[in-house]
Amino acid sequence: MPEIHYKELKAYLKKLKEGRDTKQFAPVYLIHGEALLYKSALDTLLDALIPDKQRNFNYQAVDGTNGHLEDVVERLNTYSLLGGTKVVALCDSKIFYSKQDEGQLLEKAKEAFDAQDINKAAKYLLSLLGILNLSFDDIGGENPRKTLKPDGDKTGDTKWLDEIIKFCMENNLSISSEEHNVVLLQHAIEKGFPKGNHLVITTDMIDKRRKLFKIIKSNGMIIDCSVPKGDRRADKIAQEAVLTERMDALLARHGKTTDKETYQAMVELTGFDMETFSDNFEKLISYVGDRKEITAKDVAFVLKRTKKDPIYELTNAIADRNVEQALFFLNSLLTDNFHPLQILASITNQVRKLLLIKDFVESSHGSSWHSEMQYRPFEDKVMTAVQFYNRELLNRMEQWEDMLSDKDGENKRTGKKKEKKKSLPATDLEIANNPYPVYKMLLNSDKFTKNELIDAMEHLAQADFRLKTTRQRPKMVLEEAILWMCNAKQELGVRS
C-alpha cells in the first residue's frame, strides 16, 4: 500500500467511503511526524473508521510509551464486543527509536524537563535506556555523561538527568526491552488480525531502514506528518506553512482575525513548536474576548518567550559583530542553563574557523574571493580553491606529524614506537556537499582583520582562565569577551 502525506489523507478516505477506490481500509496504519499533526490525522482516520456512537466500545487507545505490547496484540486478536470495525491505537509509540536516535532522545528528554513535564521526560529516558540495554545503575553515580555522552551544546549539564533518574526510581518506572517489543509486533502484523480489526501506530520518529517499517509498509499504509526542522530556506518555508495553516484554523474556529506582524511576534517567542504555538494562540483568543482582532500588542502583553535558541545563533551574531544580538542570545543560553564553559568553547571554535578562513583568503588560493561576491560565482570559482587549500593544509599537517617521528619510527616526544598513521580529519573549511556555510563564513571573515582574530583567541583564553580559577560572574566574563570581539563602544564596567 502507498505512503501518503497527511494533506492527502482526507482525499484518500473520501475515495474509500465513496467506493471510488477498489482498496479497503488497511489493517495497520503508521502515522509519524509532528505530534499535533499526527494526532489530528488519527482523529480524521477514526472518524472514517468508527462512528462516534460506537467509539466507546470499538476504539481502544494504548499509551505507546509504556513499551509492553502483549496487551496490544491480545486486543487486536479479539473481536469487538458489539461487532463491526475495531481500532486499537498505539499512541506516541517509541518502538521505532534506535541507537542512532540517542542524541535526539536526550534532547527531547531535556526539552520536556525544561517544560516541567517530568513524566514525558522520563518516558524518553526509559525508551533510550531500553534501546541501549542500560540500567539506572549504568547511568548513575557522579558522571552519567560518560555512558550517555549527551551533546553539551544542546543539553547543558547533567543535573536534569539526575532529577529524571530520581523520578523514575521513586515511582518504580521500569525499563522494557525494546527489541522484544519490535519482534512481537512484527510477527503479529505478518500473521494478520481478525477481519475488521485495525492497528494505528502514532510516533514522532521512525527509521525507514528497520524491518518493522518495511513490514508495515508492505501490509498497511504510512501517513507522513513530518515537518523539516532545519534552518534552510526550504525548511523555514515548510515550517511557516504548517504554523500558518494551524493559525488560520484556530482563527476560523473562533471568528478572529490577525496580521503578519502578530504571527511573526508569536514565532519569535515560540520558534517552531506547534503545540506551544497552538496553546499560545488559545490564550490570546481567550484574552481578547469579544474583540475580533488579535494584535502584536496582545502577544507582547500576554505571552512569554519560550523559544530555545540554538548556540549557533550566538556564534553567528559574534561572527556578524552584532553586539546587541550576541548579548541577547548569551542571556538566552544562560537562562536555559547552558554551562558557561560550553558557551565559551563554541565561541572559541567559531573564532578558530574565522581565523582559518582568513588564512585561506590571504593565501594564493583565496585571490579570486572578494567581499561583494554573490553566492553563485563563489560556488563556481572559489569553492574549488577552498578544496585545494584544504588538501594543502592536510598535507602540511601530515608533514608536521612526520617531523615528530625519527627514522626508527620512534616518536621524538615520547620515545614510543610510532603507530600506524590514521587519516587526518577534514578542516573546518571542508563542508561536504554544502558550500553555503563556507560562503557565509567568508563574508563574516571580511569583518575582521587577522590580528583582531588572533587577539580574540588571546581574550578567549583569558576568559577561560578566569572562568576556571576566579569567582567572577560567568555572565560578566563572557559579556566582556563578546563586547571586545564585537568592538562595541560601551563601558564594560557599566554592565552587570
The three three-digit cell numbers of residue 252, written as one number: 476560523
Q: Is 312-381+390-395+426-486 assigned to CATH 1.20.272.10?
A: yes
Average pLDDT, the chain: 81
Tell me the average pLDDT across 217-232. Answer: 87
Instruction: Give the pLDDT of residue 216.
Output: 92
Share of the chain above pLDDT 90, in %: 20
**Residues 350, 153 contacting (CB under 8 angstroms):** no
Instruction: Give the pLDDT of residue 424.
Output: 46
CATH 1.10.8.60 maps onto the chain at 233-302
Share of the chain above pLDDT 70, in %: 83
Instruction: Give the pLDDT of residue 63.
Output: 83
Instruction: Give the pLDDT of residue 490.
Output: 42
pTM passes above 0.75: no
Instruction: Give the pLDDT of residue 252.
Output: 92
Q: What pLDDT digit, counting tens, does each position of 383-436 carry?
A: 888 888 878 877 777 777 777 665 555 555 555 555 544 444 445 554 444 677
Instruction: Give the pLDDT of residue 42.
Output: 94
* Listed range (71-80, 111-120, 156-165, 265-274) with the worst mean pLDDT: 156-165
Q: Which CATH class is domain 233-302?
A: mainly alpha
Instruction: Give the pLDDT of residue 491.
Output: 41
Instruction: Give the pLDDT of residue 80.
Output: 75
Instruction: Give the pLDDT of residue 225.
Output: 93
3-state secondary structure the chain: CCEEEHHHHHHHHHHHHHCCCCCCCCCEEEEEECHHHHHHHHHHHHHHHCCHHHHHHHEEEEEHHHCCCHHHHHHHCCCCCCCCCEEEEEECCCCCCCHHHHHHHHHHHHHHHHCCCHHHHHHHHHHHHHHHCCCHHHHCCCCCHHHHCCCHHHHCCCHHHHHHHHHHHHCCCCCCCHHHHHHHHHHHHHHCCCCCEEEEEEECCCCCCCHHHHHHHHHCEEEEECCCCCCCHHHHHHHHHHHHHHHHHHHHHHCCECCHHHHHHHHHHHCCCHHHHHHHHHHHHHHHCCCCECCHHHHHHHCCCCCCCCHHHHHHHHHCCCHHHHHHHHHHHHHCCCCHHHHHHHHHHHHHHHHHHHHHHHCHHHHHCCCCCCHHHHHHHHHHHHHHHHHHHHHHHHHHHHHCECCCCEECCCCCECCCCCCCCCCCCCCCCCCHHHHHHHHHHCCCCHHHHHHHHHHHHHHHHHHHHCCCCHHHHHHHHHHHHHCCCCCHHHCC
Instruction: Give the pLDDT of residue 247.
Output: 92
Q: What pLDDT digit, counting tens, does each position of 31-89 carry?
A: 999 988 999 999 999 999 888 877 888 898 888 765 567 788 888 888 777 678 899 99
Instruction: Give the pLDDT of residue 386.
Output: 84
CATH 3.40.50.300 maps onto the chain at 1-226
Q: What pLDDT digit, counting tens, does each position of 293-316 carry?
A: 999 999 888 887 777 667 888 888
Tell me: pLDDT of 485 over 80.
yes
* Listed range (57-71, 161-175, 269-283) with the worst mean pLDDT: 57-71
**Residues 404, 413 contacting (CB under 8 angstroms):** yes
Q: Considering the domain 1-226 in this protein, what is its CATH number? A: 3.40.50.300
CATH 1.20.272.10 maps onto the chain at 312-381+390-395+426-486
